[in-house]
C-alpha cells in the first residue's frame, strides 16, 4: 500500500528556512549531508514523521520557483492567533483570512510565503 512520505524544497539558506518553519510549528528532525554538494534538512510537526525536506545545494542562494507548483497546507487551531504570532515575527499573509469560493461556512484560510517564496496555506480548523 503506497503512503505519502514527504515534499522537498530547494532552499537558499538553511538557518533562515529552518527558523521560518519552526515559527509554523515544525521541528528539525535530522540533517543529512549529500557528499560535498548538498545538505538535506528534515522537518516534521510534533508527533509526526518528517514530511518536509529542505535541500540546500552549496553555493546556490536562490531558485526560480516556476508556475507549476503552488503550495503545501498546514492545519492550525486558531488562524487569527497564528497570524498574530507570525506577524510579530515579520511574517504577513498575502491577504486576510477568507473562505474559498465566497462560502459563508467552513474553515478560514490564508497564505504566507517562506523565505524562498514558497507558499504555505494555513487552514483554521478550530476556534
Residues 95-126: b if buried by 16+ CB within 10 A, e if exposed: eebeeeeeeeeebbbbebbbbbebebebbbee
Q: Is 59 helix (H, G, I), strand (E, B) or coil?
A: coil
64, 80, 89, 121: the active-site residue: 121
121 is catalytic: yes
**Residue 52, SS3 per DSSP:** strand
Q: Contact 114/51 with Cβ under 8 angstroms?
A: no
Report, as residue numbers or ranges, the catalytic residues: 121
Amino acid at each position: 500500500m503506497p503512503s505519502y512520505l514527504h515534499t522537498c524544497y530547494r532552499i537558499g539558506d538553511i538557518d533562515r528556512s529552518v527558523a521560518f518553519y519552526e515559527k509554523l510549528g515544525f521541528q528539525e528532525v535530522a540533517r543529512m549531508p549529500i557528499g560535498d554538494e548538498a545538505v538535506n534538512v528534515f522537518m516534521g510537526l510534533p508527533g509526526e514523521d518528517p514530511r518536509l525536506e529542505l535541500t540546500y545545494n552549496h553555493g546556490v542562494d536562490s531558485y526560480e520557483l516556476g508556475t507549476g507548483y503552488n503550495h503545501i497546507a498546514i492545519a492550525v487551531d486558531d488562524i487569527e492567533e497564528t497570524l498574530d504570532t507570525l506577524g510579530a515575527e515579520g511574517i504577513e499573509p498575502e491577504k486576510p483570512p477568507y473562505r474559498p469560493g465566497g462560502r459563508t461556512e467552513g474553515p478560514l484560510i490564508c497564505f504566507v510565503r517562506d523565505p524562498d517564496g514558497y507558499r504555505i496555506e494555513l487552514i483554521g480548523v478550530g476556534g
